[in-house]
Amino acid sequence: MTLNFLQVPVIAVDGPTASGKGTVAQRVAGLLGFSYLDSGALYRLVALAALQQGVAPDDVGRLAALAAGLKLRFAGDRVFLDDQDVSAALRQESVGNMASAVAVFPAVRAALTERQRASRVAPGLVADGRDMGTVIFPDADLKIFLTASVQKRAERRCKQLIEKGFPANIAILSKDLQERDARDAARSVAPLVAAADAVVIDSSDLGIDAVVDQILERARRAGMGARGGV
Ligand code: DC
């Protein structure tokens, strides 16, 4: 059976930085046989391109042009920008912080909207970000808002960065996370906020598997198991 675009099921996983969204969303997508959208990577790519080309964080016109013209390619867990493998560079905190700064501009967000919606392909999509359930896929079949305490998120991000060979300091990370959350939540367009119909999961004291199980259970209840093959 061919599904039209709006019949393709979507699970939106939103939440603050370092809440575990990426790991959880990828795991759920893999188990359901769905595609995975890392929308944060798009904002990070704009940020990285801006840093590489010396574009100022308030030069909206050039930032929007960069967003509209991104030549990117995803291959498994690798990300290529202009055929250059930028997977590691994208994960740097400086790039994440710049991404949060460029993401406040409506013109930048608008330039990335269609690219995100185009990833809605059968048999289904798990989309991870800040506004998946509120703006990009407001009709998502299941909306999850994944959060965790600042302390836990700073610890997780610290571990992640050290594993990737980047320097990390928990006190600085904790301050940066709070500043980033405040900026993401305060912006006037597509702020970081749980959709009214989202299921809020606090993962402070839950492991990845427990969160994944909760989401799969809700996906089954929303009728996604049958279509997704689980
Ligand atoms: O999920 P992440 O940490 O890779 O995202 C980096 C930044 O990009 C985040 O601080 C805010 C922005 N972002 C956004 O505004 N909307 C999204 N859907 C995803 C990310």
Q: Which of 130, 135, 184 to mutate to test the pocket of ligand 1 (most atoms within 8 A of CB)?
A: 130
Pocket around ligand 1 at a 6 A CB cut-off:
17, 39-40, 43-44, 96, 99-100, 103, 129-131, 180, 184
Distance 36 CA to ligand 1 centre (A): 15
Average pLDDT for runs of 10 along the chain of length 230: 76 93 96 96 97 95 97 89 94 90 96 96 96 96 95 91 88 90 85 92 94 97 66
Q: What residues are paired with 35 via a beta bridge?
A: 125
How many Å apart are CA 74 and CA 28, to the nearest integer?
Answer: 19
> Is 4 contained in some domain?
no
The domain tally of the chain equals 1
Give which of 14, 32, 27, 59 is closest to 199, Cα–Cα.
14
**Is residue 34, in this structure, part of any structural domain at all?**
yes
Asked whether residue 225 is assigned to any structural domain, the reply reads no
Q: Is residue 185 part of a domain?
A: yes
pLDDT at position 196: 94
Residue 228 belongs to some domain of the structure: no
pLDDT of residue 82: 93
CA of 126 to the centre of ligand 1 (A): 16
CATH code, 17 = 3.40.50.300
> Is residue 204 included in any domain, yes or no?
yes
pLDDT reported for residue 185: 86
- Ligand 1 centroid to Cα of residue 1, in Å, is 34
Residue-range definition of the domain harbouring residue 164: 9-218
Is 226 within the bounds of a domain?
A: no
pTM for the full predicted model: 0.90
